[in-house]
Chain A
Amino acid sequence: MYKEALEQFNKPWLPLTALFIFVLVFLLYLYWTFKKENKHIYDYSSQIPFEDGVKHE
């Protein structure tokens, strides 16, 4: 039954829709990541490895 179902699969719009969703999500998340107003946050984040902690005297 599965074999017949797969053989008769004729819905080209389905993979195309999936592709469209993938591309759309990727573009949205690209836009979101590269928004200019977040610059200070990324600048801060990239400095974290340099803060090993303040030594307690």
Chain B
Amino acid sequence: MSSSSNVNRTGLLETYSYDDQIVRMFVFATIIWGAVAMLLGITIAFQLATWKMNFGLQWMTFGRLRPLHTNAAIFAFCGNAMFAGIYYSHQRLLKARLFNDALSRIHFWGWQAIIVAAAITLPLGLTRGKEYAELEWPITIAIAVVWVVFAVNFFGTLVRRRERHIYVAIWFYIATIVTVAVLHIVNGLSLPVTWTKSYSVYSGVQDALVQWWYGHNAVAFFLTTPFLGLMYYFVPKAANRPVYSYRLSIIHFWSLVFIYIWAGPHHLLYTTLPEWAQTLGMVFSIALWAPSWGGMINGLMTLRGVWDKVRTDIILKFMALSLTFYGMSTFEGPLLSIKSVNAIGHFTDWIPGHVHAGTIGWNYLLIAGILYFLVTKLWKTEIYSKTIANIQFWMATIGLSLYYVSMVVAGITQSLMWRAIDANGKLVYPNFIETVVKIVPMYWVRAFGGTFVFVSFLLMGYNLYKTMQQGSVGIEEVYEAYALDDSSVEKNATQHRKLEGLPLVFGVLSLIAILVGSAIEIVPTMLSNHYISKIDAVKPYSPLELIGRDIYIREGCYLCHSQQVRPMVHEVLRYGKQSEAGEFIYDHPFQWGSKRTGPDLARVGGKYPNMWHYRHMLNPRDVTPQSIMPIYKWLVEQKIDYATLTRKLQVMKQLGVPYSDAQINNGVMSAQTQARTITEDLMKSGVPAEVEDKELVALISYLQRIGVDYGSLPKSN
């Protein structure tokens, strides 16, 4: 048994074994959910290439499946892979079995139950309307509970460890557990209306900042830090070489954890978020270049001396390419955070291109390497077919390249068309659909690129299955190590070295590192309702508009339409007056969106007659030839839900929306009256009277209200 030169381990020699069965279970779940996530991905990719792929089914529209795809990819696929890798490495790095077998099983089955709940509720349109945090409140609570189970199991193992030193991979795991808990709880705060409906406690600008503080750091602390930890364990193991620089890993860890948390506001540049918060987000995003590349260099340089093996060893090949993509996407992220670049890239397809360079290039490829490593170790055999693995590698690489290049081309093309202004000061492409039609060929390229990636994943599933078949799990092996006693304490240890022996203190310091940035950004914004100029003309939504807004959220309209006119000439020319923070104070949750597959809707209220919206929702091609929007025929079949309206108004009042008791008590009657008025207008164009109690009428009432209060004010206001 090796030991530090300052340590001579003595004392009680204990025996123990590793719980590898739980790792195998998470490996299976990773393969299954990975295939599901990618199948959903290519489904929605084809839906953007041709609207017919929505099949006219409400639970299959882009707006409902897109959140399912992102949740499946992030939390089901990457989540299960992360747990498999953490549980395998954590035990071995600490020379201890996981704290409690029962907790491990509760963690596993709890997480799978949450995924199944997401797979049922999201297509049904049960959503909080916040990107990557769509799951309704009972599931949100269940996630918190399962996360706590994971944390107890993880830290319990740390307490029972036989290795005093906590290896760098575990620091990244600690930061992940602590930060994800904070992000999930703060962003998940909602007031329930029913078991399946809740409203975010934040509104407008506040909600936007909290949401993107969460959204950005979900990428940081769910898709990056745990996988960096896995990289620090599995790359040295696969290469059979120690990490290039342990010192650099320390710098990497603290810098990354401290800086990452500040960068969220780069998702909200040019919005009505306070300017100082935008600048802060941009500056810290650029600062992220250093630690991100420090980690990438540390990973790649670990392969120094074994580059010949990278050519032949499929596991190293996947890992080397994933690190390369990590370097590329962490270069591109800060680049997109520079305001002038962001002005071009934001709201376009460049962003999904960037995101998938990270999730496919970094996460999927690293997971592929880790899965091949784990399956060969846990089933005690060799990879079934290196040829299949090589075909997988190239299919994934080519598929991702097609995806990325097509999206960057589409994004920049469309952005330049949006902003083209002629010599007379008019938009060159005033009709938004012109800019969509231009990039539809790129949507086809993306869909086929995604299909390549999906097929590569299926090949891996088959290869891993055959590998498992030819191997054998065998009996649980027993190991021995000295109990952790005073003999493990190093003489003359440095302060950081001592710190690494104190997981609780280490965890608290990590928490402080992420809370500094969070507090400085969020606390002033928590007070923002006090210093955002109140606009007297902006009133709460009427009861029917509130119902309509909930339908807008249910159908995921915010995934293709923004509600934010940026202070740019071409946006003001195209959409109308630029947005103001005071416009959104009653928006629980905010609906600014992050992508414009269709035009911005911040000033759509009153722009078209009711009949235009009616025809548009039933068949968008009737009013906008070549539109790629799905049809929403069920909106004229399903009745308006008046039963929960009073409760909705009461919850909104609790959240600070100034509804009077009379407005709440008469809410249903008021909504029905407004529905009748809209229906009478539609009937003039031949629409049957039966639509009066149908959802489309409520949605029209909301669409006709968006941006009207502030937008109709004279410009001096």
Contact = CB atoms under 8 A, between A and B. Distances in A.
14 contacts: A3-B532, A3-B533, A29-B251, A40-B4, A42-B247, A45-B246, A49-B89, A49-B236, A50-B237, A51-B95, A53-B95, A55-B477, A56-B15, A56-B479
Contacts of B237: 49-50
A41 interface: yes
A56 B243 contact: no
A2 B243 CA distance: 50
Interface of A: 1-3, 5-6, 26, 29-30, 32-35, 38, 40-56
Interface residues of B, number: 46
A33 B496 CA distance: 8
Nearest to A9: B276
Contacts of B15: 56
Q: Most chain-B CB neighbours within 10 Å: which of A35, A42, A46?
A: A46
Contact of A32 (B167, B490, B495): B495
B4 A41 contact: yes
Interface of B: 1-6, 15-16, 89, 92-93, 95, 163, 165, 167-169, 233, 236-237, 240, 242-243, 246-247, 250-251, 254-255, 477-481, 490, 493-497, 524, 527, 530-533
A54 B494 contact: no
B132 to A, nearest CB: 29
A48 B251 contact: no
Closest 8 CB pairs of A and B: A53-B479, A2-B531, A3-B531, A46-B242, A42-B246, A56-B478, A44-B4, A56-B480
Nearest to B240: A50
A33 B242 contact: no
Q: Most chain-B CB neighbours within 10 Å: which of A6, A55, A56?
A: A56
Nearest to B163: A48
Contacts of A47: 2, 242
B2 A54 contact: no
Contacts of B480: 53-56
Contacts of B493: 41
B254 A29 contact: yes
B514 to A, nearest CB: 15
Contacts of A42: 246-247
Contact of B5 (A5, A32, A40, A54): A40
A54 B242 contact: no
Contact of A33 (B92, B250, B524, B533): B250
Contacts of B254: 29
Given A53-B481, A56-B480, A38 B494 contact: yes
A12 to B, nearest CB: 13
A27 B545 CA distance: 56
Contact of A54 (B1, B255, B495): B1
